[in-house]
Amino acid sequence: MPKYELVLLKNMAQPGYTGSLEAYRQAGGYAALEKVLKERTPADIIEEVKKSGLRGRGGAGFPTGLKWSFIPKDHKGLKYLCCNADESEPGTYKDRQLIERDPHQMLEGLAICCYAIGAERAYIYIRGEFDLGAEVLENAIQEAYRANLFGKDLFGSGVNVDVSVHRGAGAYICGEETALLESIEGKRGKPRIKPPFPAIHGLYQEPTVINNVETLANLPHIINRGAEWFASIGIGKSTGTRVFSVSGHVKRPGNYEVPMGVTLREMIYDIAGGMRGDKPLKAFIPGGASAPMMKPEHLDIPLDFESIKEAGSMLGSGGITVMEEETCIVWAAMNLMEFFHHESCGQCTPCREGSGWVLQILHRIEQGHGREGDIEQLENLCRRIEGKTVCAFGEAEVGPILSSIKHFRAEYEQHIREKCCPFHPNATLSMVH
């Protein structure tokens, strides 16, 4: 039995739960949608979500109610909701489970959000590789349309909501909200310059809200149980539960839903079963590959937005990657830089070129050809990338590099001094693709 009350994972934790519309309704599903359509005004819902303290679960942690309130009330044209199901942040695999195991939970949240912001059209942007997830969603949407939970005049309220699945095609950057919009519009996924923000000029230049799968999945629960209940879970400005994805060298990797604010120690050593083979912990990433690495000395820091930020990293997408003592940190940083270099959209020169240069230096250090001054060069390059790009990708890609140098400088120096990797002396290394 889990130690904490499950909210988002509650249905799927019941043996035999299928995620069908019938199963979801038996568990009380779509009652929140009916309630808001019959009894609540859109302004009311936005107020309730603001009071709950719900923050975006995709990575940035922006207050959801506040985001919605930026949509102009007097807008004459169409408004849109885009659900971000482009889950691509390395270390993160929670949305996949939320979609495949309980699709109606997020669909109900999506309908509630549409009503609150006055959007009659929603797109679910799901990453292209999620074939199964897309099938599950398409089936769930068809079920919901047949039951008139989507379409015209929902619950006799006169409110219309249409939803379609839009499948990506393999591009990490499309998880960035404006790149996502470009991608739906049939273009390369290149982030837009902000402002204007999507709430004013979003999809097809109309006011648009972009919310993550897990964010939307929380909405029915906030409506059913109230903002006070939601705000009572978690700590400080990080309210509610969070589904953390744990991976790497732990005994029981998995998606674990806990109140925000549990410590990393509890997450790694208790909930995820501790280190595989009981080896010592060397480093971990607390919030997806973009989040700076942390060390065992950070184990007692609570998993909430503020505490992790204060400790120099970020809660991000909630993907916790755990590395044991024998992991080479230069190799780990190089692996992540290969990812970022591959995924850079190419729009901004510092990111497009810089990621390649950083990677080149990491490759040579790991292969035993590092030179005096390479570490300083890495730091220098990183500083010329972060803050100098259209989107946050620039900060994301230098996070693992700068943090690994900060925490493990001696290991970099050893690679250069000994002219080989102490962990992989005969390394063939990277698998180029």
Partner 1 sequence: MKYKALSKEAVARIEAELPKYPDRRSLTLPALRIAQEDLGYVSEPAMIDIAEILELTPIQVYDVATFYSQYNMKPVGTYLVQVCKTLSCALVGAASIVEHLQKKLGIGIGETTEDGFFTLKVVECLASCGSGPMMQINDRYYEQLTPEKVDQILSDLKEQGKSALATGPFMLPALQGQK
Binding positions for partner 1, rule: CB under 8 A: 12-13, 15-16, 19, 78, 87-93, 95-97, 100-101, 127-132, 136, 164, 166-172, 183-189, 204, 245-249, 252-255, 285, 289, 319, 321, 323, 327, 332, 335-336, 338-339, 342-343, 345, 431-433
Q: Is the separation of the CB atoms in 125 and 4 below 8 Å?
A: no
In terms of CB distance, is 16 or 195 closer to partner 1?
Answer: 16
Nearest to 380 by CA among 396, 395, 363, 358: 358
Q: How far is the CB of 65 from partner 1 (least distance, A)?
A: 28
Within 8 A by CB and 6+ apart from 283, the residues are 293, 294, 295, 323, 327, 329, 332, 404, 407, 408
Q: How far is the CB of 196 from partner 1 (least distance, A)?
A: 19
In terms of CB distance, is 181 or 381 closer to partner 1?
Answer: 181
In the block, which residue shows the tokens 């990657």? 321
How many C-beta neighbours within 10 Å does residue 135 have? Answer: 12
In terms of CB distance, is 152 or 383 closer to partner 1?
Answer: 152
Q: How far is the CB of 250 from partner 1 (least distance, A)?
A: 9
Residues 134 and 100: their CA atoms lie apart, in Å, by: 9
In terms of CB distance, is 125 or 230 closer to partner 1?
Answer: 125
In terms of CB distance, is 3 or 252 closer to partner 1?
Answer: 252
- b/e for 180-212, b at 16 or more Cβ within 10 A? bbbbbeeeebbbbeeeeebbbbbbeebbbbbbb
Q: How far is the CB of 214 from partner 1 (least distance, A)?
A: 13
Q: Is the separation of the CB atoms in 420 and 368 below 8 Å?
A: yes
Nearest to 259 by CA among 65, 1, 2, 49: 2
In terms of CB distance, is 239 or 255 closer to partner 1?
Answer: 255
Instruction: Quote the tokens at residue 122.
Output: 């929603």
Q: How far is the CB of 399 from partner 1 (least distance, A)?
A: 13
Q: How far is the CB of 336 from partner 1 (least distance, A)?
A: 6
In terms of CB distance, is 117 or 336 closer to partner 1?
Answer: 336
Q: Rounded to 5 degrees, what are φ and ψ at 295? A: -120, 170
In terms of CB distance, is 65 or 288 closer to partner 1?
Answer: 288
Nearest to 126 by CA among 190, 183, 205: 183
Within 8 A by CB and 6+ apart from 81, the residues are 110, 113, 114, 117, 119, 121, 122, 123, 208, 209, 210, 211
Q: How far is the CB of 413 from partner 1 (least distance, A)?
A: 22
Using a 10 angstrom Cβ sphere, with 0-12 exposed, 13-18 middle and 19 or more buried, the burial of residue 304 is buried
Instruction: Quote the tokens at residue 61.
Output: 């942690």
Q: How far is the CB of 96 from partner 1 (least distance, A)?
A: 5
In terms of CB distance, is 3 or 417 closer to partner 1?
Answer: 3
Q: How far is the CB of 253 from partner 1 (least distance, A)?
A: 4
Give me the residues paired with residue 248 across strands: 322
